[in-house]
Amino acid sequence: MGEELKGKIALVTGASSGIGRATGVRFAQEGAQVVLVGRDRAALSATAAEISQGGGEAFAVIGDVTVEADAERIVRETLDDFERLDVLVNAAGILANGTIETTSLAAWDEMLNVNLRAVFHLTHLAVPHLERTRGNVVNVSSVTGLRSFPGVLAYCVSKAGVDQLTRCAALELAPKGIRVNAVNPGVVVTQVHRRGGMDEEKYETFLEHSKSTHPLGRVGEAREVAELILFLASERASWITGATYSIDGGRAQTCAR
């Protein structure tokens, strides 16, 4: 185990799977005490167990980040248990298909509530505590926040919103010593596409096609994104704020295909 985050308290949302889970595990490997947030109790417990087996410390908090009372409770329980907060990682997110013509208002609201509103609210709640520790925030955005893609309208807009929230919050919080950054992954192997409605056959076809849309010729892994999140959360990135970091195998450099 490393010590890059030794003594730090990190709150990670979406920690039951994908990038959130990989981030929680990686942070614990570097000595952080990790508060894992998610809605799936069994999956969250599995993440906590993986961390414990590796000699780390993790604490699961079941909650829905879109519910205001839950968000308030998540931050309150973290402070009740640890009396401080050093890092907030907003990794919870959803993805669904839909165009300007086919996206319902309900689907639009759900996407923006999970992917953007909840990020704002948790950051808002965390600011007073991060100010005391001169802590930082890392948001999980997407290549779709930087480039437009057809068929995932609400998702693209939500992630573009996360990017602008990151930049604006970074400017506003810099005088308090709080850094705010985002990572913008390309296609990463997680559960988000399956949960968005892809069956296994379509998902495998999508992953195969993605080899050609990413210049490096492959999709990414959650652990690779977690490594970048670790860097941005660490003292190595102490002079970086307001950045939206592409980690996408070159996807953002290409034209639509």
Q: Respond yes or no: is residue 245 known to be catalytic.
A: no
CA dist 172 and 206 (Å) reads 39
CA dist 187 and 143 (Å) reads 8
- The single-letter code of the amino acid at 166 is T
Print the SS3 string covering 59-91.
Answer: EEEECCCCCHHHHHHHHHHHHHHHCCCCEEEEC
Residue matched to tokens 């319902």: 104
Question: Is residue 92 a contact partner of residue 20, using CB atoms and an 8 Å limit?
Answer: yes
125, 137, 177 from 7: Cα distances, Å: 22, 17, 19
Task: Find the catalytic residue in 30, 75, 155, 188.
Answer: 155
Q: Catalytic residue numbers?
A: 155
